[in-house]
Amino acid sequence: PSSPFMPRMVAVFLIHLFDRGQAVHARRTWYRSGMKRFHLIVALVFAALLTTACRDEAESRQAEFYVFGTLTGVTLWDVHEAESQRAFARLQETFQGMHRDWHAWQPGELTRVNEALAGGEEVATSEDIVELVRRSQELERLTGGRFNPAIGALIGLWGFHTSDYPIIGPPPERPEIEALLAGRPSTLDIRIDGLRLVSSNAAVQLDFGAVAKGYAIDIACAQLRELGIDNAIVNAGGDLRVIGSHGDRPWRIAVRAPGGGIVGSLETGRDEAIFTSGNYERFRQEETRRYPHILDPRTGWPVEDLASVTVIADEGLLADAAATALIVAGRSGWREVAQSLGLDQVLLIDGSGKVYLTGRMAGRIELLDGIESEIVEFATE
Ligand code: ADP
Ligand code: MG
């Protein structure tokens, strides 16, 4: 049973037919040229050599990884075979390490850090986790606490420390929610000293579910760059970051619509991240009532105003955190939060499937006919 307010599927996916299209076009041109037989053979041999040369240089190379339970495709351009193998091996190791170290509930580095924070003890940890805390502090401040990864205990209380959705059953008891809210956990309670962390508030429990994917993709892109790879795309189930470009042909991605289908498509630009936060896939269900997995840290309850938010930003971490924060801000508050984050490429879909977009986003996306939409006035534009 699906509630009309909780559209089932909204996500972004990639369409890439370009390579195939080019190959077909090239073959037709050969046939049409009408050369003599000898010339044709010479041409074919030459073409074969050319194709081999191209295959070694300009072709795309792809690999897939699991990143936080999401099948993640990595595509590289203009990279030799050996180079791509090196890059993929490095990414495999990186993604595995993140999965192990950043997990909010499986025992590992982050649960160890959380235990120390709850006990008021100082704890030394990894550069990545310190950076996640530092960036989270900044983003929590800029979003007025709508994005707050210190609410791990609350997320756990709701049962969202699982990969098994939907969760069946009633919401937690109000007094339990109130008790955790009363602790007022905030990343700003954490003091950073080099690689050491200590919290002045025992209620702080870190859960990077809303930014981990974004930061993981950023790190992956940085590593690709270090390896001298300038053109690549890392796509974690529709959340993606592009570095460089795909030759002179941009990628076209589609934004999925609530309840299936798509609302439209857009071309990816150079060096940008596109992230969508949806309130429709992961939730707790009690009979026909749904409680989605994004919580308003100020009330302790799930937010339901918007079905999905898509954000384009320079980096994955910001885009990921922003998409979550804007869902929490809802229809009345998202503009203020987007402005404070310096973002002007935003698309929102409400519970009835209506699309709201900023002028800059409207200039990029091609909406399908019949999609109800509204361009929202936005002060920074
Ligand atoms: P998705 O990638 O599934 O669309 P998000 O990026 O929005 O989801 O992250 C949702 C996850 O973030 C939740 O599962 C939870 O772990 C955590 N979370 C939920 N609400 C908040 C919040 N207000 N601030 C920070 N993290 C949150
Ligand atoms: Mg997010």
Does position 122 have pLDDT exceeding 90, yes or no? yes
How far is the C-alpha of 127 from the C-alpha of 222, rounded, in Å? 15
Contact yes or no for 357/375 (Cβ under 8 A): yes
CB distance 282 to ligand 1 below 6 Å:
yes
Who wins on pLDDT, 182 or 34?
182
Who wins on pLDDT, 23 or 258?
258
pLDDT band at 22 (very low <50, low <70, confident <90, very high): very low
Which atom of ligand 1 is nearest the CA belonging to 152?
16
CA 340 / ligand 1 centre spacing (Å): 20
Which atom of ligand 1 is nearest the CA belonging to 279?
4
Which atom of ligand 1 is nearest the CA belonging to 295?
20
How far is the C-alpha of 4 from the C-alpha of 23, rounded, in Å? 44
Contact yes or no for 230/244 (Cβ under 8 A): yes
Does position 25 have pLDDT exceeding 70, yes or no? no
pLDDT band at 58 (very low <50, low <70, confident <90, very high): low
Q: What whole-number percentage of the chain has pLDDT above 90?
A: 72
> For 320-336, how does the pLDDT look when each residue is reduced to its tens digit (9 = 90+)?
999 999 999 999 999 99
CA nearest 340: which of 184, 142, 149? Answer: 142
pLDDT band at 26 (very low <50, low <70, confident <90, very high): very low
CB distance 219 to ligand 1 below 6 Å:
no
Does position 51 have pLDDT exceeding 90, yes or no? no
pLDDT band at 256 (very low <50, low <70, confident <90, very high): confident
CA 252 / ligand 1 centre spacing (Å): 27
How far is the C-alpha of 292 from the C-alpha of 300, rounded, in Å? 12
Who wins on pLDDT, 140 or 380?
140
Sign of CA dihedral 357, 13, 296, 3: positive
CA 256 / ligand 2 centre spacing (Å): 17
Does position 187 have pLDDT exceeding 50, yes or no? yes
Average pLDDT of the chain to the nearest whole number: 86
CB distance 283 to ligand 1 below 6 Å:
no
Does position 7 have pLDDT exceeding 90, yes or no? no
Who wins on pLDDT, 24 or 195?
195
Does position 380 have pLDDT exceeding 70, yes or no? no
CB distance 295 to ligand 1 below 6 Å:
yes
pLDDT band at 303 (very low <50, low <70, confident <90, very high): very high
Does position 4 have pLDDT exceeding 70, yes or no? no
Return the residue whose CA atom lies nearest to atom 16 of ligand 1: 209
What is the predicted pLDDT for the residue at 102?
97
Does position 64 have pLDDT exceeding 90, yes or no? yes
CB distance 298 to ligand 1 below 6 Å:
no
Ligand having the closest approach to the CA of 278: 1
Return the residue whose CA atom lies nearest to atom 9 of ligand 1: 210
Return the residue whose CA atom lies nearest to atom 4 of ligand 1: 277
Does position 169 have pLDDT exceeding 80, yes or no? yes
pLDDT band at 151 (very low <50, low <70, confident <90, very high): very high
Quick one: average pLDDT of 281-293?
90
Quick one: average pLDDT of 150-179?
96
CB distance 316 to ligand 1 below 6 Å:
no
CB distance 279 to ligand 1 below 6 Å:
no
Return the residue whose CA atom lies nearest to atom 1 of ligand 1: 277
Does position 205 have pLDDT exceeding 70, yes or no? yes
CB distance 277 to ligand 1 below 6 Å:
yes
Ligand having the closest approach to the CA of 149: 1
What is the predicted pLDDT for the residue at 312?
98
Q: What is the 3-state secondary structure (H, E, C) of the chain?
A: CCCCCCCCCCCEEEECCHHHHHHHHHHHHHHHCCCCHHHHHHHHHHHHHHHHHHHHHCCCEEEEEEECCEEEEEEECCCCHHHHHHHHHHHHHHHHHHHHHCCCCCCCHHHHHHHHHHCCCCEECCHHHHHHHHHHHHHHHHCCCCCCCCEHHHHHHCCCCCCCCCEECCCCCHHHHHHHHHCCCCHHHEEEECCEEEECCCCCECCCCCCHHHHHHHHHHHHHHHCCCCCEEEEECCEEEEECCCCCCCCEEEEECCCCCEEEEEECCCCEEEEEEECCCCEEEECCEEEECCEECCCCEECCCEEEEEEEECCHHHHHHHHHHHHHHHHHHHHHHHHHHCCCCEEEEECCCCEEEEHHHHCCEEECCCCCEEEECCCCC
What is the predicted pLDDT for the residue at 199?
98
CA 360 / ligand 1 centre spacing (Å): 26
Which atom of ligand 1 is nearest the CA belonging to 328?
23
Pocket test for ligand 1, best of 133, 160, 324, 327 (most atoms within 8 A of CB): 324
pLDDT band at 69 (very low <50, low <70, confident <90, very high): confident
Ligand having the closest approach to the CA of 282: 1
Does position 156 have pLDDT exceeding 80, yes or no? yes
CA nearest 277: which of 202, 212, 222? Answer: 212
Cα separations (Å) of 30 from 20, 45, 286, 372? 16, 12, 63, 46
Who wins on pLDDT, 246 or 109?
109
CB distance 324 to ligand 1 below 6 Å:
yes
Quick one: average pLDDT of 62-81?
93
CB distance 140 to ligand 1 below 6 Å:
no
Q: What whole-number percentage of the chain has pLDDT above 70?
A: 83
Does position 45 have pLDDT exceeding 60, yes or no? no
